[in-house]
Amino acid sequence: MMYALDLIGIAVFAISGAMAARQLQMDPFGSLILAGVTAIGGGTLRDLLLGITPFWIDDHNYLYVIAVTAFITMIWPLTRGWPYRILNVADAFGLALFTIMGMSRALSAEVSITVAVVMGVMTGVAGGMIRDLLSGQVPLILRREIYATASLAGALTYAGLHHLAFEWHASVAIGMLVTLVVRLSAIRWKLTLPTLTHNT
Residues lying near its own copies in the complex (CB under 8 A):
21-22, 24-30, 32-34, 36, 44, 48-49, 51, 53-54, 56-57, 60, 63, 71, 74-75, 77-80, 111-112, 114-115, 118, 121, 125, 129, 133-136, 138-139, 141-142, 144, 146-149, 152, 192-200
Cα–Cα separations (whole angstroms), residue 117 to 113, 120, 154, 166: 6, 5, 9, 17
Q: Shortest approach of its own copies to residue 36 CB, angstroms?
A: 8
> Quick one: 29 or 189, whose CB is closer to its own copies?
29
> Quick one: 20 or 172, whose CB is closer to its own copies?
20
Angle in degrees, CA 92, 76, 124, rounded to 5: 20
Residue environment code for 131-153, b if the CB has 16+ CB neighbours within 10 A, otherwise e:
bbebbeeebbbeeebbbbbbbbb
Q: Shortest approach of its own copies to residue 43 CB, angstroms?
A: 12
- Residue 121 · residue 152 · CB < 8 Å: yes
> Quick one: 11 or 22, whose CB is closer to its own copies?
22
> Quick one: 56 or 93, whose CB is closer to its own copies?
56
Alpha carbons 114 and 78: distance in angstroms, whole number = 42
